[in-house]
Chains A and B, each alone.
Chain A
Amino acid sequence: MKVHVKNWHAIAQWRWDTGAADADDDGEGDVCGICRVPYEGCCPSCKMPGDDCPLIWGECSHVFHMHCLLQWIGTSSSKQQCPMDRRPWVTAERKVDRTNNAR
Chain B
Amino acid sequence: MAGLPKRIIKETERLVADPAPGITALPHEDNLRYFDVTIQGPDGSPFANGVFRAELFLPEEYPMAPPKVRFLTKIYHPNIDKLGRICLDILKDKWSPALQIRTVLLSIQALLSSPNPDDPLATDVAKHYKENEKDAQRVSREWTEKYASA
Contacts and interface: CB of A to CB of B under 8 A. Distances in A.
Nearest to B96: A83
Nearest to B6: A37
Interface stretch (A1-9, A13-21, A71-79, A90-98): A71-79
Contacts, number: 36
A40 to B, nearest CB: 14
B87 interface: no
Contacts of B93: 77
Contacts of B97: 33-34, 68, 72, 83
A19 to B, nearest CB: 19
Please classify the interface of chain B as helix (H, G, I), strand (E, B), loop, or mixed, using the class held by over half of its residues: loop
Contact of A83 (B10, B11, B65, B98): B98
A50 B49 CA distance: 51
Contacts of A84: 96, 98
Please classify the interface of chain A as helix (H, G, I), strand (E, B), loop, or mixed, using the class held by over half of its residues: loop
A75 B64 contact: yes
Contacts of A36: 6-7, 10-11
B64 A37 contact: no
Q: Choose among A36, A37, A72 the residue with the greatest number of B CB atoms under 10 Å from its CB.
A: A36
B5 A34 contact: no
A84 B97 CA distance: 8
A88 interface: no
B63 to A, nearest CB: 6
B37 to A, nearest CB: 20
Given A37-B7, A44-B7, A86 B96 contact: yes
A48 interface: no
Interface in B1-30: 5-7, 10-11
B95 interface: yes
Interface of A: 33-37, 44, 68, 71-72, 75, 77, 81, 83-84, 86
6 smallest beta-carbon distances between A and B, as pairs: A83-B98, A83-B96, A34-B97, A33-B98, A36-B7, A83-B97
7 contacts: A34-B97, A35-B5, A36-B6, A36-B7, A36-B10, A72-B64, A86-B96
